[in-house]
Amino acid sequence: MIIFYLGFILTVFAFAFGLYLFLKINKENISLPPSEDQRLSKISKTRVDKILEIFEQRKKASSAIINSRAPVVDPSL
């Protein structure tokens, strides 16, 4: 019987805590997303160019690997 009461009390406390958290979160202001000017000011052209250069190098390396012949001869052929 004590276990039943203890479980009931824990359930009530969990409900109260969940309600408290919900009400606390519900009161907070929702911030607006940054404007387009703020987002664009964070993007640097040099960083974008550097990243594009890295991807271009990867593309060249991938093409070289795909177009090269296999170094091991397959004996089943």
The number of folded domains in the chain is 1
55-69 average pLDDT score: 92
pLDDT tier at 75, thresholds 50, 70, 90: confident
Residue 76 lies in a domain: no
Tokens of 22: 């919900």
Kindly report whether the global pTM for this prediction surpasses the value 0.75. no
Whole-angstrom distance, CA of residue 24 vs CA of residue 19: 9
- pLDDT one-digit tens code per residue, 9-60: 999 999 999 999 998 888 867 676 666 666 666 778 888 999 999 999 999 9
DSSP letters, 4-56, are HHHHHHHHHHHHHHHHHHHHHHHHSPPPPPPPHHHHHHH--HHHHHHHHHHHH
Tell me the residue range of the domain where 16 lies: 2-26+35-67
Is there a domain that residue 22 lies in?
A: yes
Dist. CA 48–CA 61, nearest whole Å = 20
